[in-house]
Amino acid sequence: MRNTGRRTRGGRLGRICAAYCLAALTAALGWLYSSLPDHISLEPGQALALPRFAYIQPMGGSGARNVASTWTAGSYQATLSIGGVLPVKTVRAVITPRPSVRVCGTPFGVKMFSEGALVVGFTDLNGPDGAPANPAKEAGLRLGDRVICIGDTATESNDAVKAALEQAGGQPVRVVYVRDGSQQQTFLTPCWDETAQEWRAGMWVRDSSAGVGTLTFIDEENGVFAGLGHSISDGDTGQSIALRSGEIVPCEIIGCTQGAAGSPGELKGKFIGSHAVGTIEINGENGVYGSTRTSFAGQVMEVAFAQEVVEGPAQILTTTRGQTARLYDVEIEKVTDAEQVRNMVIHVTDPALLAETGGIVQGMSGSPILQDGRLAGAVTHVLVNDPTRGYAIFAETMLAQAGAVE
């Protein structure tokens, strides 16, 4: 009886261990599945390999067979597996000539006009009875709402908002606005401001934005520029600006506020003249893109495919003074395909750049990251609590977005 009991307990323990092992294996495979890319770009004749996952191979394909399958331009399905045996994920392999672009790292000025008037603040007014009033708040408007129409007037400028309120007088007027990508409407009753002698809504709006960023590359074959690596957002609301029109102009860096933990630094720039050198056509989550009107300085380099970017030494090409970009040493500490834009964590190690800026600062967004003689990515954000580190995006992602410019 005692032996039977021990065998029963042993069997139960074995089943529990097996269940835990199965759960751990399932979790590990789930993590691996989400970590692997959905598509892989390859040059004709290039073997399908993932340097960051040395144990991952095409299912049943290696060596000459793997290379031979990529000679023909186009795409095919490939099943990635552990050791060529245990299947993990089916991806699309795209066979394409390796692209080259002119890598810049130089500053550029941005001028943008938004589609609609962005609500960036509120201010109470004195109502008819002397009590505080705020027509915009009472109508349900919030910070970050984009007002596109008041009455019959399209509000594409601050002056248009003012004119629409004057036309409405003290009568309720329909307001069409966009919130979180959804168009909505409400009614607002303007309030007469005795001090300003005008009808007001109790809200501050902004119709344009200007700033400094870094040019990542020029696709000279298509006359397209790419920069920033993230969208241009309003400084007060954090909302991405809906682009109505925009242009880029020459710029030079005249100073820098060093970054510190909890306080990001900033490059100080000034526009050089008013002659535009490009037209902004996309303000997207992975950068600013448009058509160019002139030539730009920089070196023509090949673009690294996303799966080729690995942890280890790299360089950042950026401008901290004037208009001339310099190379500085950085370390790529983390690489992931799971994120759309934050594909890398980089660490500034170059003493010269640390002395000049303290690390990554505002205005350096778009600075190219080079690895093994190729354009690997671009800086996007600084880690607020550690300015020596920042995020970066794959150059391949930016080049794909640049292809959408008409």
The secondary structure of residue 401, as a DSSP letter, is H
CA distance 127 to 113: 33
Contact 223, 95 (CB under 8 A): no
pLDDT tens, position by position, 191-228: 888 777 888 888 888 877 778 889 999 998 889 999 98
CA distance 256 to 241: 25
Point out the residues that are catalytic. Answer: 230, 350, 365
Q: Let me know how long the chain is.
A: 406
* Mean pLDDT over the full length of the chain: 85
Q: What is the mean pLDDT of residues 269-274?
A: 84
pLDDT of residue 62: 46
Contact 249, 225 (CB under 8 A): no
pLDDT of residue 82: 84
pLDDT tens, position by position, 347-406: 999 999 999 999 999 889 999 999 999 999 999 998 988 999 999 999 999 999 988 886
CA distance 46 to 49: 9
114 pLDDT tier (thresholds 50, 70, 90)? confident
